[in-house]
Amino acid sequence: MKIYNTLTKQKEEFVPLEEGKVRMYVCGPTVYNFIHIGNARPMIVFDTVRRYFMYKGFEVNYVSNFTDVDDKIIKKAIEEGVDASEISTRYIEECKKDMEGMNVLPATVHPLATEEIGGMLAMIRTLIEKGYAYQAQDGTVYFRTRKFGEYGKLSHKNLDDLQAGHREIKVTGDEKEDELDFVLWKPKKDGEPYWESPWCNGRPGWHIECSVMSKKYLGEQIDIHAGGEDLIFPHHENEIAQSEACNGKEFAKYWMHNAFLNIDNKKMSKSLGNFFTVREISEKYDLQVLRFFMLSAHYRSPLNFSADLMEASRNGLERILTGIGRLKDLEEKAEGSSLAAEEEELSEKVKELVAKYEAAMDDDFNTADAISAIFELVKFANTSVDESSTKALVSETKHAIETLCDVLGIITEKKEELLDAEIEELIAKRKQARKDRNFALADEIRDTLASRGILLEDTREGVKWKRA
Ligand SMILES: [Zn+2]
């Protein structure tokens, strides 16, 4: 199995630190709003990486944090006049709902930065003791970047180039010994959440959070550290500096980064009006379609989101689900628990396509080619498996497609979940039925909705609904 390692800029054979186990850390979102579809890409991509390791028999310890203390969270809390923790708790819950919709497995652990402050204080203390960090007059603690000789090894930048461009990477505070130094701990401002520390009442810098949470839940050395490519510098570069300076060991063996997601060939931004949350997408599409779309390109290729491409993904997914549905019907009627002689070759073809899929995934998780192999399998099933086939062949083919879809996190059971628009439509129908005094129909619609997990509430302002 080969993985492209950002650290070495090449594909490398995956050798785990511990036989049969994978220790993996994926940087999670800062929770100040609904997640956007740019956040969704690493979630889906690395969930698929995790699932493929599981398929190959690895035990995966998968840790992904929530950054729940941050300027943006504090800003939102001030706007709403509530505690920062209320904002982060709310959007962690919403994020988990979106993850469920995208069929992203919950991490083994989802640590919260605010619950790991003790570990951060300990790591900062060690870095100061070892001479890698220092306290400025106002209580800010900085990392002494030039002291870590390998700084720049992940982003392949050299210190002097960085120094020349220091304006871009400058962080708050004027008391730094060197422009390249970055914040480990900073003093609180009025109205901000804070923790006591030996240096000042304040809060951690962003980078130290991940170094600490990774160490606590996965140990000083891990197999894979992953995230979006925008995190390579400075976030991951700084994590390496902190962790390796503190622990005296190589932090992560493989660094994986997914490429950007563009919208209609433009960078996603609020000002361009092409900014979508996952929740907004879920009102138009089943999130399975979003997942399928995200995996239709290799994770290191930039991906362009457009209505046309989503439509193509919806059709592609539908073709697979219809193929599986047909095999299910055939399976119910078919007989013969072993292959007929003339089916041996067909069975070989199934195995060949499964091997093709695995070869694609073994080559740095090439989900685009893996999906092509699934399409080939579906096409094979549609043309070579029919009423005359034995149950053995039908089941083998169906099982192969289902398993390979499952590794990609694609749910092959036809989803019965209703879209918001469909629910609104049914509610309108029910309203009309009541107007027509057709209470039997009104009740029937209510029951139908209830059976699909939609609860109705008649209020003075009209009917409100929610998902159970
Ligand atoms: Zn991180």
Please state, in angstroms and rounded to a whole number, the distance separating the CA atoms of residues 465 and 449. Answer: 10
pLDDT (tens place) for every residue of the chain, 468 residues total: 999 999 999 999 999 999 999 999 999 999 999 999 999 999 999 999 999 999 999 999 999 999 999 999 999 999 999 999 999 999 999 999 999 999 999 999 999 999 999 999 999 999 999 999 999 999 999 999 999 999 999 999 988 888 876 655 555 556 899 999 999 999 999 888 999 999 999 999 999 999 999 999 999 999 999 999 999 999 999 999 999 999 999 999 999 999 999 998 888 888 888 889 999 999 999 999 999 999 999 999 999 999 999 999 999 999 999 999 999 999 999 999 999 999 999 999 999 999 999 999 999 999 999 999 999 999 999 999 999 999 999 999 999 999 999 999 999 986 666 777 788 888 989 989 999 999 989 988 888 888 788 888 888 888 888 887
Q: Which of 115, 309, 124, 312 is nearest to 205 (CA)?
A: 124
Long-range contacts of 278-284 (CB under 8 A, 24+ apart): 278/34, 278/35, 278/36, 278/37, 278/39, 278/40, 278/98, 278/101, 278/102, 279/34, 279/94, 279/98, 281/37, 282/98, 282/101, 283/419, 283/420, 283/421, 284/419
User: Ligand 1 center to residue 332 CA distance, Å?
Assistant: 49
pLDDT of residue 164: 73
User: Ligand 1 center to residue 369 CA distance, Å?
Assistant: 29
pLDDT of residue 167: 55
* Residue 262 phi, psi (nearest 5): -105, 160
pLDDT of residue 449: 86
User: Ligand 1 center to residue 257 CA distance, Å?
Assistant: 12
Helices (H), 343-460: 344-362, 367-384, 391-407, 420-435, 439-451
User: Ligand 1 center to residue 28 CA distance, Å?
Assistant: 7
User: Ligand 1 center to residue 365 CA distance, Å?
Assistant: 22
Q: Give the strand pairing for 141-143 and 182-187.
A: antiparallel
Reported as type and span, the H/E element at residue 145 is none
SS3 at position 341: helix
User: DSSP state, 66?
Assistant: B
Helices (H), 234-366: 237-247, 278-284, 287-294, 307-333, 344-362
Amino acid at 360: A
DSSP lists the bridge partners of residue 464 as 457
pLDDT of residue 161: 82
Q: 322-369: per-residue pLDDT in tens?
A: 999 999 999 999 999 999 999 999 999 999 999 999 999 999 999 999
Q: Would the CA dihedral through 111, 113, 117, 120 be positive or negative?
A: positive
Q: How many residues does the chain have?
A: 468
Q: Which of 2, 58, 6 is nearest to 225 (CA)?
A: 6
Please state, in angstroms and rounded to a whole number, the distance separating the CA atoms of residues 97 and 140. Answer: 37
DSSP lists the bridge partners of residue 204 as 185
pLDDT of residue 414: 67
Tokens of 238: 């700084």
pLDDT of residue 344: 97
User: Ligand 1 center to residue 124 CA distance, Å?
Assistant: 16
Q: Give the strand pairing for 252-258 and 261-263.
A: unpaired
pLDDT of residue 448: 82
Q: Would the CA dihedral through 245, 251, 254, 260 be positive or negative?
A: negative
User: Ligand 1 center to residue 313 CA distance, Å?
Assistant: 31
Listed in sequence order, the residues at least 6 apart from 77 whose beta carbon sits closer than 8 Å to its beta carbon are 83, 84, 86, 87
User: Ligand 1 center to residue 69 CA distance, Å?
Assistant: 13
Please state, in angstroms and rounded to a whole number, the distance separating the CA atoms of residues 95 and 11. Answer: 32
User: Ligand 1 center to residue 27 CA distance, Å?
Assistant: 4
User: Ligand 1 center to residue 215 CA distance, Å?
Assistant: 12
pTM of the predicted model, to two decimals? 0.88
pLDDT of residue 273: 81
Is the preceding peptide bond at 234 cis, omega within 30 degrees of 0?
A: yes
